A = this chain, B = another copy of it.
Amino acid sequence: MSSTKQGKIVIVTGVPGVGKTTVLNAALDLCLKSGKDVSLVNYGNIMFEEASKLGLVRARDEMRRLPVKTQVDLQLQASESIRQINGNVIVDTHMFINTSKGYMPGIPSWVAGALKPDAIVLLEADPEEISKRRSKDVAIRVRESDSPERITEHQMMGRAGAAAVSVQTGCTVVVAKNREGGYIEAAKVIASLFWEG
């Protein structure tokens, strides 16, 4: 029964360029130092593993070409796998993914209902800062979606989506600021969700 899970599930989301990897690694470090055992999983990776096991895809890119029903089944299986992990889990995923067809929900209601998270962390940073970071990344072609205005919009959509999931499931929502040179502060906010009280 998924509802008997021991330990907490904390979803961490953030737009590209917000500095999620750095913050998550620091959060895991803080958890370890405070004696809290916390696993970090990437939601997309778990879904891909499920799809690979079933022989449905060989590359990650192929997943979004699967029939919608198959994708939903994979999402539910991934959620169930995550709930079966012992102890505390951080799930690295997106609230909304910016695609050519618009913002796609990363935590649709069926995933939220299956994952039953304790909290969703919205990792946010200054849109100007994120825009600058993206423009420095030579691997990324700068697009209109990388303007501070669009990043503000993306982060605002994230808040609205998290509010919807919170109302649906009862989980809490944490807005953690990843300020320039202050990633440790954001990491502390995440780590503190696993402390008692």
Verify A166–B161 contact, CB threshold 8 A: yes
Contact of B108 with A173 in the complex, beta carbons under 8 Å: no
Interface centre among A72, A107, A121, A174, by most chain B C-beta atoms within 10 angstroms, is A174
Cα A159 to Cα B160 with chains together (Å): 8
Complex: A169 Cα to B168 Cα, angstroms:
12
Question: Given A108-B170, A109-B168, A193–B163 Cβ distance below 8 Å?
Answer: no
Q: Is the CB of B197 within 8 A of A105?
A: no
**Residues of chain A in range 100-119 having any CB-CB distance to chain B below 8 Å:** 100-105, 107-109, 112, 118-119
A interface residues, Cβ below 8 angstroms from B: 68, 72, 96, 99-105, 107-109, 112, 118-121, 153, 156-157, 159-170, 172-175, 192-193, 197
